[in-house]
């Protein structure tokens, strides 16, 4: 177990080093001058030269890279060319909203995917209709699904809000920055309900695709295990089909399902960029969308690195959970 964890952690560090090097190289290969973007198109050559020296862009490339890595190790992601604030400060302000949306969507995806896999494998009544609805929703592009949701549930039915994370102007901003938690900490149940309603539409749009992927993998594993010899033995002992499904087949089907869940969780962080833009959700997706037209490479690189770290950490955790769920994986 310890050996497996050590290998996964070493692989995680290696991947993050490659990711940081790739981000640095892509920034240098871009034809856009970040100093021009920082000072504006009317800046003089002297001002550009002074600012280039102040930002360290006139140093040798290898010195810039080591300075970049040193900054990353100390939490310094550079200075945003658009907001003129440290990128780490900006991300710290925007990231909690993205975490809130992503984990809410992940909860929905696991719930819906688990129901889809269990209902399909167990041939529960209504499973075909449930599967049709999920697959139909997941087959549409996320931005189109978001627009249809806004037109139906906001414009026509007036059930759900369409933009932002709350309708209150005095919503709490601490201690976590995650609105659902902060409203409960401050005992503001009305704001909690409003924040939850704002989460529903973007959360569903993010969750539908991963839910189908998780459900399909779980269903395949369950169907395979339900045909195995140990399940036939369990049935011969007189166990009910529900007991066989939950007590015997489910655990042995979790390995591949956990892998798919980790993959989808990582992809969700990247996928929320479009959804946050459509719903004006105040997360790092909206921050990135605002930074791209301004050629704010420190901000774009910082967000990319944070998303990469989240993806790698989540998948490393999933690999470890696989070993816990099925110790045979450690010997594979």
> Alpha-carbon distance 305 to 290, whole Å?
17
> Alpha-carbon distance 23 to 219, whole Å?
38
> Alpha-carbon distance 88 to 280, whole Å?
21
Q: Tell me what the mean pLDDT of segment 92-121 comes to.
A: 88
Q: What percentage of the chain carries pLDDT values higher than 90?
A: 8
SS3 assignment for 126-160: CHHHHHHHHHHHHHCCHHHHHHHHHHHHHHHCCCC
**pLDDT in the model for residue 125:** 80
DSSP structure string for 75-108: T---B-TTT-SBHHHHHHHHHHHHHHHHHHHHHH
Report the first-to-last Cα separation within the chain, whole angstroms: 12
Residue 330 pLDDT exceeds 60: no
Residue 137 pLDDT exceeds 90: no
φ and ψ of 238, to 5 deg = 100, 10
Helix, coil or strand: residue 86: strand
Please name which of 241, 230, 96, 120 lies closest in space to residue 173, comparing C-alpha atoms: 96
pLDDT digits (tens, 9 = 90+) for 157-190: 889 998 888 888 888 877 888 888 999 888 888 8
Q: CB of 298 within 8 A of CB of 76? A: no
Lowest mean pLDDT among 84-93, 220-229, 239-248: 239-248
What angle, rounded to 10 degrees, do the helices at 127-139 and 189-226 form?
A: 110
Please name which of 211, 40, 222, 42 lies closest in space to residue 118, comparing C-alpha atoms: 222
Residue 4 pLDDT exceeds 80: no
**pLDDT in the model for residue 108:** 92
φ and ψ of 43, to 5 deg = -70, 145
Q: Tell me what the mean pLDDT of segment 208-237 comes to.
A: 83
Q: Tell me what the mean pLDDT of segment 14-42 comes to.
A: 76
The DSSP output letter for 31 is S
Please name which of 286, 301, 308, 287 lies closest in space to residue 79, comparing C-alpha atoms: 301
pLDDT band at 13 (very low <50, low <70, confident <90, very high): confident
Q: Can you give the pTM of this predicted structure?
A: 0.79
* Other beta carbons within 10 Å of 4: 17
pLDDT band at 104 (very low <50, low <70, confident <90, very high): very high
Q: Tell me what the mean pLDDT of segment 208-234 comes to.
A: 83
pLDDT band at 142 (very low <50, low <70, confident <90, very high): confident
Q: Which residues pair with 79 in a beta bridge?
A: 86
- CATH, range 90-322: 1.10.3720.10
Q: Where are the domains of the chain?
A: 2-73, 90-322
Residue 200 pLDDT exceeds 90: yes
**pLDDT in the model for residue 41:** 67
Which residue did the predictor score with more confidence, 108 or 240?
108
| Whether the bond into 175 is cis, omega within 30 of 0 | yes
* Burial of residue 197 (number of CB atoms within 10 Å: 0-12, 13-18, 19+): middle
Q: What percentage of the chain carries pLDDT values higher than 70?
A: 92
Please name which of 287, 300, 282 lies closest in space to residue 173, comparing C-alpha atoms: 282
**pLDDT in the model for residue 199:** 92
Which residue did the predictor score with more confidence, 66 or 279?
279
pLDDT digits (tens, 9 = 90+) for 36-86: 766 766 777 788 788 777 777 777 888 888 888 888 888 888 888 788 888
pLDDT band at 32 (very low <50, low <70, confident <90, very high): low
pLDDT band at 198 (very low <50, low <70, confident <90, very high): very high
Q: CB of 207 within 8 A of CB of 109? A: yes
> Alpha-carbon distance 246 to 122, whole Å?
10
> Alpha-carbon distance 275 to 99, whole Å?
13
């Amino acid at each position: 177990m310890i050996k497996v964890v050590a290998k996964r952690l070493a692989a995680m560090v290696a991947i993050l080093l490659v990711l940081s090097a790739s981000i640095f190289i892509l920034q240098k290969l871009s034809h856009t001058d970040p100093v021009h973007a920082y000072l504006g198109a009317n800046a003089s050559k002297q001002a550009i030269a002074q600012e280039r020296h102040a930002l360290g862009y006139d140093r040798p490339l290898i010195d810039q890279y080591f300075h970049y890595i040193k900054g990353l190790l100390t939490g310094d992601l550079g200075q945003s060319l658009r907001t003129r604030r440290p990128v780490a400060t900006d991300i710290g302000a925007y990231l909690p909203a993205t975490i809130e949306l992503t984990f809410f969507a992940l909860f929905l995806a696991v719930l819906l995917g688990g129901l889809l896999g269990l209902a399909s494998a167990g041939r529960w009544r209504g499973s075909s209709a449930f599967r049709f609805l999920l697959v139909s929703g997941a087959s549409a592009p996320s931005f189109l699904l978001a627009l249809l949701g806004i037109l139906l549930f906001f414009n026509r039915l007036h059930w759900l809000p369409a933009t932002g994370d709350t309708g209150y102007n005095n919503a709490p901003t601490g201690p976590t920055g995650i609105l659902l938690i902060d409203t409960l900490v401050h005992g503001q149940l009305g704001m909690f309900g409003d924040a939850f309603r704002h989460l529903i539409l973007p959360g569903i749009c993010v969750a539908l695709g991963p839910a189908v992927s998780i459900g399909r993998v779980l269903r395949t594993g369950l169907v395979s295990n339900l045909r195995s010899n140990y399940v036939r033995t369990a049935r011969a002992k007189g166990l009910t089909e529900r007991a066989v499904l939950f007590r015997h087949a489910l655990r042995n089907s979790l390995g591949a399902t956990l892998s798919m869940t980790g993959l989808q969780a990582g992809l969700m962080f990247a996928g929320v960029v479009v959804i946050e833009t459509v719903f004006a959700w105040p997360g790092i997706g909206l921050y990135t969308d605002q930074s791209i037209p301004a050629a704010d490479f420190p901000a774009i690189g910082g967000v990319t690195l944070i998303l990469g770290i989240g993806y790698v950490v989540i998948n490393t955790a999933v690999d470890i959970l696989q070993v816990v769920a099925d110790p045979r994986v450690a010997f594979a």
